[in-house]
Amino acid sequence: MVLDELVKKNEDLIERFNVKAYLEAKNFAVVGAIAALEITNEVQKNFVKNIDIPQTEDEMLMHLYGMLQALFVSVDGLYALAYELSGSKKFININQNADMRELKHIRNDVVGHPANRNIRTQGNAYCILQKEKLSTKEFTYFICSDRKIEERKVDLVSLIKSYYIEANALLKVLFNISNSGIANERLFELMEKVLRAFPNNDYLSKLDSLYNDYLLKYPDATKKQDRFIWRYELIKKIINYDFNSNDELIEELKNDIIYMELEKTYTLLAGKPFFDKYIHSYGTLVKSMYRFLRKNNDLYSIKDYLCDMSHPLFYDTFLKFKSKARLNPTVSIYLSCVNTLIEKNDSDLVYAYMLPVKNFKKK
Split at pLDDT 50, 70, 90, the class of 352 is very high
| Domain tally, the chain | 3
Residue where one domain finishes, among candidates 281, 312, 332: 281
In 3D, which of 273, 277, 278, 262 has the Cα closest to residue 206? 262
Split at pLDDT 50, 70, 90, the class of 121 is very low
pLDDT in tens, 234-270: 999 999 999 988 889 999 999 999 999 999 988 877 7
What is the arithmetic mean of pLDDT over 105-128? 69
Among the listed residues 108, 96, 55, 104, the one whose alpha carbon sits nearest the alpha carbon of residue 234: 96
* Structural domain span for residue 247: 184-281
| pLDDT (mean) for 168-180 | 80
Read off the pLDDT of residues 191-229 as tens digits, 9 standing for 90 and up.
Answer: 888 999 998 878 999 999 999 888 887 777 766 668 889
Residue 144: inside a domain, yes or no?
no
pLDDT band at 342 (very low <50, low <70, confident <90, very high): very high
SS3 percent helix, strand, coil of the chain, rounded to 5, is 70, 5, 25
pLDDT recorded at residue 116: 62
Phi-psi region of 87 (alpha: psi -120 to 50; beta: other; left: phi over 0): left
pLDDT tens by residue, 268-312 = 777 778 877 667 889 999 999 999 999 998 898 899 899 999 888
- For residues 107 and 69, what is the distance between their CA atoms, to the nearest angstrom? 7
Average pLDDT over residues 88-100: 70
Provide the mean pLDDT of the chain: 86
The pLDDT score that the predictor gives to residue 181 is 56
Whether 120 has a pLDDT exceeding 60, the answer reads no
In this structure, the answer to whether residues 220 and 331 fall within a common structural domain is: no
Closest CA relative to residue 104, chosen from 314, 328, 312, 325: 312
Name the domain boundary from 252, 281, 310: 281
Residue 30 and residue 100 share a domain: yes
